[in-house]
């Protein structure tokens, strides 16, 4: 029989089934069903009031769900076991302003059950990583909003978490700070950690995330792999000459929605893997190809298409 | 473990945010005033009869202890009213509540931190006041430790109610509510005393009901009864009157009251959405 540890490490990073939260008569999260694998960088997108923050709070045990189930790292969401391996950066990180940044990290490290010996090395390393090494003995009351976000990010990484939940991590950060967050997300993914990114800065999400969920009114509308991935259905536009109806018919093996104009063919492929095959087919049948352009939607266009222009209000 | 970490940070907060130092600084100012007043009083009583010479400083000592009690209670409420509601409103609590510690550990730790702070305050102030009184006039409190313990218990009662209300209400509402209950108990105590002197059992009952709702005043009156010289207690209508002394059953009730309030605060904080 597998030990609980091995079960936990093979379990999904986050799994929810019909997770629901109602505040009085108001439904904040209707029915959230998500499966996030280990090692993924997952974006959680939705308009204001879509239930993103409440969902995050349910995953962390800050808010008790009204219905449904949620597990984090194989343990019930909010349990001590799940929290031991989770790091969290709240949207507006705030803490006792009379502490210095090093004291804050030591305090949070001790709450994670870390020993002083570990913290003596870990705290300076983290302050260095977030660019606050020179401010280690400065009180938080003298910190700018961006510096608070940085120290908040550091406390979320203290325990080398398996899951890092970042709630709007780049709000209040300057471009340098945003790049830092991106770099840290990459480093954490390379380490094998899962990153759950709640953000409305679509450009950030587009750069960092493997998959995104679009939510509105507390429900997942759609989950997509992001543009960089070859698995997405993509529309393609080809500028070409010397093609006839039999060539177009042959394209049907790999593509759908085939249309042609004077010197142009458009079609949709289920995966970008089909594109080189299609090109070889066209060229070997004597078609002159001048230009091949995959018509990718930007995340913003995708967002508006899925969520709607009204933003769910 | 989480309990001790939170207790430490709560106590350090009181020290670093200068709450404890300010309270003690004001306290020393108060002791200086008390000492000066007592000094002149003793001088002017030099030729009075020996009974008066002994009893008046004892009476002044009781007034001083009463003021210390009042200060301690106000500081208890002011220091603790914001700790839950304020941190919930600002989101500060989220960084702690998502760490692998139970919610009850967080709150119990805060409770211990405040209890530690108030213990230091009460020991320093009661100790300072009785020392000044003894050195200047030879006046002593009868059962000082028992009295100080009851003042401490009164502070814990208010702390627990403040934490319980702070888990539900905003800081301001909490402060108004706890100080309001304290005032209700205070008024109830006086009604009870006057009722006892004027032989009005129904007035005494009103006072007892007030003590059941909030036992703070009855703890003070029991503390006064324990500490005062018999003659001061015989001054019928005063904050130290023993016209109607709270019984030991009332002390037992207060202990149950503060335990239940703490347990309810722990449960309420553990169950609420943050």
pLDDT tens, position by position, A50-99: 889 999 999 999 999 999 999 999 999 999 999 999 999 998 898 999 99
pLDDT confidence of A272, banded at 50, 70, 90?
confident
Q: Which residue among B13, B94, B95 sits closest to A98, beta carbon to beta carbon?
A: B13
Q: Longest Cα pair distance anywhere in chain B, in angstroms?
A: 69
pLDDT confidence of B177, banded at 50, 70, 90?
very high
pLDDT confidence of A178, banded at 50, 70, 90?
confident
Residue B115 is predicted with a pLDDT of 97
DSSP string, B160-198: HHHHHHHTTS-HHHHHHHHHHHHHHHHHHHHHHHHHHHT
Q: Which residue among A23, A61, A98 sits closest to B17, beta carbon to beta carbon?
A: A98
Question: Could you tell me which residue, B129 or A297, shows the higher pLDDT?
Answer: B129
Residues of A in contact with B90 (CB under 8 A): 94
Q: Which residue among A62, A95, A112 sits closest to B97, beta carbon to beta carbon?
A: A62
B88: Cβ contacts below 8 Å, ≥ 6 apart: B274
A2: Cβ contacts below 8 Å, ≥ 6 apart: none
Torsion of CA A127, A130, A135, A140, to 10 degrees: -100
Q: Which residue among A23, A81, A92 sits closest to B91, beta carbon to beta carbon?
A: A92
A115 touches chain B (CB under 8 A): no
Question: Could you tell me which residue, B259 or B247, shows the higher pLDDT?
Answer: B259
Place of tokens 């959230």: A32
Residue B57 is predicted with a pLDDT of 86
In angstroms, the CA A257 to CA B44 distance is 110
Torsion of CA A279, A283, A286, A289, to 10 degrees: 70
Task: Round the average pLDDT of chain B to a whole number and report it.
Answer: 90
Task: Round the average pLDDT of chain A to a whole number and report it.
Answer: 88
Residue A19 is predicted with a pLDDT of 94
Question: Could you tell me which residue, B101 or A300, shows the higher pLDDT?
Answer: B101
The average pLDDT across A139-161 equals 93
A5-14, A217-226, A301-310, B18-27: range with lowest mean pLDDT: A5-14
Place of tokens 């091995």: A6
Residues of B in contact with A64 (CB under 8 A): 271, 273
Question: Could you tell me which residue, A258 or A232, shows the higher pLDDT?
Answer: A258
Bin A217: left if φ > 0, else alpha if -120 < ψ < 50, else beta.
Answer: left
Distance linking the first and last C-alpha atoms of chain B: 22
pLDDT confidence of B240, banded at 50, 70, 90?
low
- Strand order of the β-sheet with A234-241 is A255-260, A264-269, A234-241, A288-295
CB–CB of A113 and B98 under 8 A?
A: no
CB–CB of B90 and A94 under 8 A?
A: yes
CA angle in degrees (0–180, nearest 5) for A205-A208-A210? 95
Give the residue numbers in B contacting A (CB under 8 Å), as ranges: 1-2, 5, 9, 13, 16-17, 90-92, 94-102, 271, 273-274
A98 touches chain B (CB under 8 A): yes
Query: Chain A: residue nearest B105 by CA?
Result: A111
Residues of A in contact with B98 (CB under 8 A): 60-62, 83, 86, 88
**Alpha carbon separation from B157 to A39, B173, B212, B213 (Å, rounded):** 50, 18, 12, 12
Residue A7 is predicted with a pLDDT of 46
CB–CB of A111 and B94 under 8 A?
A: no
Bin A160: left if φ > 0, else alpha if -120 < ψ < 50, else beta.
Answer: left
Q: Longest Cα pair distance anywhere in chain A, in angstroms?
A: 77
Domains of chain A and any CATH numbers: 4-225 (3.40.50.300), 234-296 (3.30.70.2470)
Residue A231 is predicted with a pLDDT of 55
A196 touches chain B (CB under 8 A): no
Closest chain B C-alpha to A108 CA, distance in angstroms: 8
User: What are A231's two structure tokens?
Assistant: 């698995």
ipTM of the complex: 0.83
**HEC profile for B9-33?**
HHHHHHHHCCHHHHHHHHHHHHHHH
The average pLDDT across A181-188 equals 91
The average pLDDT across A5-28 equals 82
Q: By the 8 A CB rule, do A162 and A13 touch?
A: yes
Closest chain A C-alpha to B100 CA, distance in angstroms: 5
A199 has a pLDDT exceeding 60? yes
Q: By the 8 A CB rule, do A163 and A73 touch?
A: yes
The average pLDDT across B204-209 equals 90
Q: By the 8 A CB rule, do B63 and B231 touch?
A: no
User: What are A283's two structure tokens?
Assistant: 């060229």
pTM of the model: 0.85
User: What are B207's two structure tokens?
Assistant: 């006072």
A208 has a pLDDT exceeding 90? no
Q: Please give the share of chain A, as a percent, with pLDDT higher than 70.
A: 93
Across-strand partners of B44?
Answer: none
The average pLDDT across B195-208 equals 89
pLDDT confidence of A229, banded at 50, 70, 90?
low
CA angle in degrees (0–180, nearest 5) for B59-B60-B66? 90
Residues of B in contact with A66 (CB under 8 A): none
B86: Cβ contacts below 8 Å, ≥ 6 apart: B92, B171
Across-strand partners of A212?
Answer: A43, A224
Q: Please give the share of chain B, as a percent, with pLDDT higher than 70.
A: 95
């Amino acid at each position: 029989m597998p030990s609980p540890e091995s079960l936990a490490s093979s379990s999904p990073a986050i799994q929810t089934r019909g997770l629901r939260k109602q505040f009085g008569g108001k439904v904040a999260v209707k029915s959230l069903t998500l499966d996030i694998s280990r090692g993924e960088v997952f974006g959680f997108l939705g308009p204001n009031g879509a239930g993103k923050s409440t969902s995050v709070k349910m995953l962390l045990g800050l808010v008790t769900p009204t219905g449904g189930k949620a597990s984090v790292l194989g343990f019930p969401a909010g349990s001590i076991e799940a929290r031991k391996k989770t790091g969290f950066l709240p949207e507006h990180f705030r803490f006792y302003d009379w502490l210095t940044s090093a004291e804050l990290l030591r305090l949070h490290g001790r709450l994670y059950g870390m020993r002083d010996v570990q913290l003596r090395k870990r705290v300076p390393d983290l302050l260095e990583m977030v660019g606050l090494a020179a401010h280690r003995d400065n009180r938080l009351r003298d910190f700018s909003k961006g510096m608070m976000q940085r120290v908040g990010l550091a406390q979320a990484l203290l325990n080398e978490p398996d899951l890092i939940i970042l709630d709007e991590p780049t709000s209040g950060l300057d471009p340098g700070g945003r790049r830092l967050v991106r770099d840290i997300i990459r480093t954490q993914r390379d380490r094998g950690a899962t990153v759950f990114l709640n953000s409305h800065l679509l450009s950030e999400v587009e750069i960092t995330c493997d998959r995104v969920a679009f939510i509105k009114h507390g429900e997942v509308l759609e989950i997509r792999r992001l543009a960089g991935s070859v698995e997405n259905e993509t529309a393609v536009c080809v500028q070409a000459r010397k093609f006839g109806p039999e060539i177009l018919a042959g394209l049907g093996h790999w593509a759908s929605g085939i249309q042609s104009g004077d010197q142009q063919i458009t079609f949709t492929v289920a995966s970008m893997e089909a594109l080189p095959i299609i090109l070889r087919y066209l060229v070997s049948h004597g078609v002159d190809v001048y230009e091949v352009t995959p018509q990718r939607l930007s995340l913003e266009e995708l967002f508006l298409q899925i969520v709607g222009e009204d933003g769910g209000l | 473990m989480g309990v001790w970490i939170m207790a430490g940070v709560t106590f350090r907060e009181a020290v670093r945010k200068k709450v404890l130092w300010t309270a003690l600084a004001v306290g020393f100012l108060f002791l200086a005033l008390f000492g000066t007043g007592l000094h002149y009083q003793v001088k002017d009583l030099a030729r009075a009869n020996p009974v008066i010479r002994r009893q008046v400083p004892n009476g002044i000592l009781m007034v001083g202890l009463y003021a210390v009690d009042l200060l301690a209670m106000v500081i208890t409420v002011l220091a603790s009213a914001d700790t839950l509601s304020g941190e919930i409103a600002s989101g500060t609590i989220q960084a702690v509540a998502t760490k692998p510690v139970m919610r009850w550990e967080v709150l119990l730790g805060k409770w211990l931190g405040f209890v530690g702070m108030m213990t230091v305050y009460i020991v320093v102030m009661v100790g300072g006041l009785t020392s000044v009184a003894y050195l200047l006039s030879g006046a002593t409190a009868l059962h000082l430790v028992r009295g100080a313990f009851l003042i401490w218990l009164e502070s814990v009662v208010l702390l627990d109610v403040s934490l319980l209300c702070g888990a539900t209400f905003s800081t301001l509402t909490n402060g108004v509510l706890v100080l309001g209950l304290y005032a209700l108990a205070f008024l109830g105590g006086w009604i009870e005393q006057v009722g006892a002197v004027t032989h009005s059992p129904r007035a005494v009952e009103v006072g007892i009901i007030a003590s059941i709702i909030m036992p703070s005043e009855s703890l003070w009156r029991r503390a006064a009864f324990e500490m005062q010289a018999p003659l001061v207690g015989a001054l019928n209508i005063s904050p130290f009157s023993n016209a109607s002394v709270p019984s030991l059953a009332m002390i037992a009730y207060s202990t149950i009251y503060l335990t239940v309030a703490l347990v309810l605060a722990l449960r309420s904080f553990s169950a609420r959405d943050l």
